[in-house]
Structure formats: C-alpha cells, structure tokens
Amino acid sequence: MSEDVKPTRKNLMAIEDRIELSEQGHDTLEKKRDGLIMEFMDILDQAQDVRSDLDGNYERAQRSIDMARAMEGDVAVRGAAAALEETPEITTQSKNIMGVVVPQIESTRVRKDLDQRGYGLVGTSARIDEAADAYEELLETIILAAEVETAMKKMLEEIEKTKRRVNALEFKLLPDLYEAQEYIEQKLEEQEREEIFRMKKIKDKKEAEESAIEEAAEEAEDEGTADEDAETVAADD
C-alpha cells in the first residue's frame, strides 16, 4: 500500500486523519465486543438454567402422562386432551441489546384453571390434572427456551462479526496506514534533506560567483592603478 501512495504533505494529512478515525473505530468496536460478550455470558447463564428446567419439566411431564395412561387409560387421556377449547397463542416482538435485535416471545392461554381445560371435572382424576399441569409448565419452558436460544445465537453471530471487524482494523487496515505514514514521512524527510543540500549548493555557487566577481574587480582595480602609475612615471621622464 505504501508504495502506491504519493509522498506529499496532503496525502500524509489524509492518512493521519484516516488513522485517527480508524483508531477511534477500533476502540469503539472493542468496547462493543466486550459489552456483547458480557451480555452473551448473562444470556448463556440464563440458557443453562432454562435447559436444566426444560430437562426436569420434560421428565416430570413424561412421568405424569405415563401415570395418567396407566391409571385412566389412553382413551381417557386422549379425550381430555381433545376437549381443549382454547389453544395457546404465541406473539413475537423484538428488543435491542447492544444494537442486536433479538426476539421477545410472549405467550397467552398456556396456563389454565381446571374449568378452562374443557374436560369435565366429573369422570377425570387428579392424574390427568397433574399431567395437564406438567405439560403446561413444559410448554412455557419450551417457549422461554426458544427465546433465549435464539437471542444467544444472534448475540454470538454479532460477537463474531464485531471480532472480525476489530481484527481487520487491528491487523490489516491500521498496520497498512502506519506503514504508509512512515513511508511518506521518510520520503518527505529525504526530499527535505535533498532540498537543503540543493539550496546549500546554490548558495555555495552563488558565493563562489560573488567571490570571483570581487576578485576580478580587485584585479581590474589593481591593473588600473598600475597603469596610472606607469603613466605618471612616463610623464615625469
């Protein structure tokens, strides 16, 4: 890059401006990267908790449904499930975390009271109620897990993108600019030394010419004085 830049004062100033902007951008991106990593670690902790809850809730729901089937039979369990009148609703919004848009999932009608599940209280047992409770809790955990996992994925993608930009500035653009700056400064110093040397040569030449003129004038003056003396002597004779 350095050899492609003309070594002029104007280009040096332009490169110095680019260096200043690039350094500011590098500092800003580093702060953003560090902030994103801190946010990501918080989400990661939350994700680990949600995954643990998800595993526990799934096992509980599986045990509950197995117990309900064993005690009430598949027909009763399927009938209770088919009686559901209001299905859960999922709505998605978005929120901004350090410039990263992540989803925010809202759910309604997941948790229900006994009289909202559609099946009659008569003819069903507490085993079916427990299974319904367990699966409602599992569904809420699944929704939360989907929100957290998606946010974590988007944050990780943004971290990687920011790291690439930081590395591009730190290991490519800024070194090239520093190299170009040093190249121009060296060339300008060489030009300045050459100009000083040239001016010194001109000055020495001028001084030599002036000295020669003065010597010639002195010689002419001496010759004129000698001629006058000779004429005076001749006149006296």
C-alpha angle 130-135-136 in degrees, rounded to nearest 5: 95
Specify whether the backbone of 92 is left (phi greater than 0), alpha (psi in -120 to 50) or beta: beta
Strand ranges (E), the chain: 89-97, 100-108
CA distance 85 to 108: 14
Answer whether residue 19 shows pLDDT above 60: yes
**Beta-bridge mates of residue 96:** 101
Tens-place pLDDT, residues 62-100? 999 999 888 888 888 887 777 777 777 888 888 888 888
Measured between alpha carbons, how far is 111 from 99 in angstroms, rounded to an integer? 33
Are the CB atoms for 181 and 12 separated by under 8 Å?
yes
Mean pLDDT (whole number) for 153-173 = 95
Q: What pLDDT, on the 0 to 100 scale, is given for residue 208? A: 80
Mean pLDDT, rounded, for 206-232: 69
Give the CATH number of domain 8-170. 1.10.287.3240
pLDDT the model gives residue 86: 72
pLDDT for 90-144, tens place per residue? 888 888 888 888 888 888 777 777 666 666 655 567 888 888 889 889 999 999 9
DSSP one-letter code for 170: I
Higher pLDDT, 237 or 38: 38
Mean pLDDT of the chain: 85
Q: Rg of the Cα trace of the chain?
A: 46
d(CA 69, CA 71): 6
Q: Are 102 and 95 contacting, i.e. CB atoms less than 8 angstroms apart? A: yes
> Can you tell me the mean pLDDT for 175-201?
91
Contacts of 56 (CB under 8 A, 6+ apart): none
Question: Among 45-59, 99-113, 166-180, which is the least confidently predicted range?
Answer: 99-113
Taking the CB of residue 138, how many other CB atoms lie within 10 A of it?
21
Q: Retrieve residue 218's tokens.
A: 């002195």
All structural domains of the chain with their residue ranges: 8-170
pLDDT confidence of residue 23 = 95
Higher pLDDT, 200 or 167: 167
